[in-house]
Structure 1
Amino acid sequence: MLLVHGAWHGSWCWDRLRPALGADGWSTRTVDLPSAGGDAGVHEDAQAVLGELDRIDGPVVIVAHSYGGIPVTQAAAKAAGVSRIVYLAAYQLDAGESLLGFHGAPVPDEPAGLRPVPDDPLPMFYGDVPDAEARDAALRLVPQSTRSFAEPLTEAAWRTVPSAYIVCEHDRALPPRDQEALAARSEEAHRLASGHSPFLSMPQELASLLAKIALGSAG
Structure 2
Amino acid sequence: MRKSIRALSLAAAMALSGAASAHAAETAGGKPTIVLVHGAFADASGWNGVVGKLSRDGYTVIAAANPLRGLSSDAASLSALVDSIPGPVVLVGHSYGGEVITEAAAGKTHVSALVYVAAFLPEVGESALTLSAKFPGGTLGETLTSVRLPDGGEDFYIQPAKFHAQFAADTPPATAALMAATQRPVTKAALAEPATVATWKQLPSYVVYGTADRNIPAQTERFMAERAKARKTVAVEGGSHALMVSHPDKVAALIEEAASAR
TM-score by length of 2: 0.75
86-95 or 164-173, larger mean C-alpha shift = 164-173
1:34 aligns with 2:67: yes
Q: Deviations over 1:103-141 (max 9, x none)?
A: 349xxxxx8221232451111111111222121111101
Q: 2:31 aligned with 1:10, yes or no?
A: no
**Root-mean-square deviation over aligned CA pairs:** 1.9
> Which amino acid in the other structure matches residue 157 of structure 2?
P
Cα 1:179–1:34, aligned 2, differ >3 Å: closer, same or farther?
same
Q: Is the CA contact 2:215–2:241 (under 8 Å) kept in the aligned structure 1?
A: yes
Any residues of structure 2 matched to 1:76-155 within 5 Å, and which?
Answer: 76-104=105-133, 112-118=153-159, 120-155=162-197
Q: Does the aligned pair in 1 maintain the 2:118–2:243 contact within 8 Å?
A: no
What does residue 163 of structure 1 align with? 205
1:210 corresponds in structure 2 to 255
Residue equivalent to 1:108? none
Shift of residue 142, structure 1, vs aligned partner: 2.8
Give me the TM-score of the superposition, normalised by structure 1. 0.88
Counterpart of 1:195, as a letter, is S
Q: Which residue of 1 aligns with 2:94?
A: 65
Matches of 2:85 and 2:176, distance apart in 1: 32
CA–CA separation in structure 2 for the residues paired with 1:47 and 1:142: 19
Larger fraction in helix: 2
Checking the alignment, whether the CA contact within 8 Å between 1:113 and 1:145 is kept in structure 2 is yes
Measure how far apart 1:46 and its partner are: 0.2
Post-superposition Cα deviations, 1:43-98, rounded to whole Å, max 9, x if no partner, equal: 01101110110121111111111110111111101323100001111100011111
Among 227, 234, 255, the residue aligned to 1:190:
234
SS of alignment partner, residue 213 of structure 2 = coil
CA distance in 1, matches of 2:257, 2:197: 27
How far residue 152 of structure 1 moved from its aligned partner, in angstroms, is 0.6
Instruction: List gaps (5 residues or longer) in structure 2.
Output: 1-33, 135-151
Q: Distance in 2 between matches of 1:163 and 1:13?
A: 22
**The residue matched to 2:253 in structure 1 has which SS?**
helix
CA contact (8 A) 1:31 1:48 kept: no
Instruction: Select the structure of larger CA radius of gyration.
Output: 2
Give the Cα separation in 2 of the matches to 1:211 and 1:56: 18
State whether residues 209 and 241 of structure 2, in contact with CA within 8 Å, keep that contact through their aligned partners in structure 1: no
How many residue pairs align between the two structures? 209
Taking a change above 3 Å as real, the CA distance of residues 43 and 210 of structure 1, as seen in their structure-2 partners, is same
- The one of 50, 57, 67 equivalent to 1:24 is 57
